[in-house]
Chains A and B, each alone.
Chain A
């Protein structure tokens, strides 16, 4: 049975086409003005990538911020459920899922029964979301992928004293003006990000195995700092961490089809 999942977030849209235990196709695009357009575009790309047609699909589930505006889905499911399910598909027995998206951060604890036991979301404050890294990367004139690599090249450990993105921005500018190396500042930015995320994770209760999903999981500097702060390893995913929500949606689509 071939199914699909579509995750329309605030900054990116993701789609996954699944056949049994195998991902046939996947796509990630920058979100367009309207969620409907983003959904259509990313869905087409994933279908093309899988080499199948829409009529071949047994079902499709939508998730994410724009999930109620995706025209072609049979159901919409919360991001929490989808991220949990996608992470479980990749790492059976995973108990803590930390998802850091472009404009929010979620910590999800999964019980021994495999169901979501507890979760916390921050979408009120830009600190601890992808937006924080985006702003800092802009000031440091590095792209997001480079920012993650700065941590291992840093020589002196620095700590940003501000949590607020606006104040931290001013602090980073001061550090640049004081000729502090970009590597050291970048490492401090990744550390600050991980620190903020770790507070959310601790509040939900961290249990092994732990994994990280969402675009920020591609930042190795943040992941390593988070491992240190939480005192536990963060399992690496064998797939792009950004597609986990869409993957979970596809897994749920398959269950729904099998059930009906």
Chain B
């Protein structure tokens, strides 16, 4: 049976196509102004990668910020449910999922069956979301990939005294003016952001093993900073961490389809 999961986020749209327990294809793209268009586009791209027609999809579940605007989805699920399911599929030992999206961050605790026990969510404050790094990158004239690499090269990370994105932006400008090494500033930013997200995870009594999902998890500097802030090593997923929500949606689609018979 072939199923699909589509995750329309604030910045990117993701689609995953699965056949039984295997990922056939996945696609990630920047969202378009119209969520319906994003959903159609990302699905078409995933279908063409998988080399199948859309009538082969037995069931599709939508998730993410734009989940109610996916015309071809039979059902919707929360991002929390999908991220939990996706991480559990990778590794049954995952007890905590930390997801950092473009405009939010979540920490989810699971039991051994993958059932959600607790979760915490921040979408009220831009600090500790992907937006933090995006704004800092723009202020420093660096793209996100370069920032991740630079961060790892730092020998003495700067300590930021501000968590607020607006105040931190001013602070890094003065660090640059003070002649601090760019790598130390960028590493300090990653540390500050990791600290913020770690407090979300600690708030739900995080337990290992920990998975890190969402687009920000592709940043090796952030991966390392979060490991340091949580004091644990984070499990590396086999698939792109950014598709985890869509993957979870596809797994839930398979369950829904088999229950429907």
Contact = CB atoms under 8 A, between A and B. Distances in A.
Interface in A128-165: 131, 135, 162-165
Contacts of B163: 124
Interface residues of B, number: 12
Contacts of A162: 124
Tell me what chain A mostly uses at the interface: helix, strand, loop, or mixed.
Answer: loop
Interface stretch (B58-66, B147-155, B164-172): B164-172
B26 interface: no
A166 B167 contact: no
A126 B164 contact: yes
A125 interface: yes
B166 A163 contact: no
B88 interface: no
A39 B126 CA distance: 35
A107 B164 CA distance: 20
Tell me what chain B mostly uses at the interface: helix, strand, loop, or mixed.
Answer: loop
A135 B166 contact: yes
Interface residues of A, number: 12
B166 to A, nearest CB: 4
B165 to A, nearest CB: 5
A35 B164 CA distance: 23
A167 B126 contact: yes
Nearest to B166: A126
Nearest to B162: A124
Nearest to B125: A164
B147 to A, nearest CB: 18
Given A103-B167, A124-B164, A131-B166, A166 B124 contact: no
A110 B224 CA distance: 48
Interface in B109-140: 124-126, 131, 135
A84 B126 CA distance: 33
B177 to A, nearest CB: 9
A163 B124 contact: yes
A145 to B, nearest CB: 21
Contacts of B165: 126, 164-166
A124 B163 CA distance: 7
B164 A125 contact: yes
A199 to B, nearest CB: 14
Contacts of B126: 164-167
A124 B166 CA distance: 10
Contacts of B125: 125, 163-164
B258 to A, nearest CB: 40
B29 to A, nearest CB: 20
Nearest to B10: A170
Interface of A: 103, 124-126, 131, 135, 162-167
9 contacts: A103-B167, A135-B166, A162-B124, A163-B124, A164-B124, A164-B125, A164-B126, A165-B126, A165-B164
Given A131-B166, A162-B124, 5 more contacts: A126-B166, A164-B124, A165-B126, A166-B131, A166-B165
Q: Which 10 A-B pairs have the closest CB atoms?
A: A166-B126, A126-B166, A165-B166, A164-B125, A166-B165, A125-B164, A126-B164, A164-B126, A131-B166, A126-B167
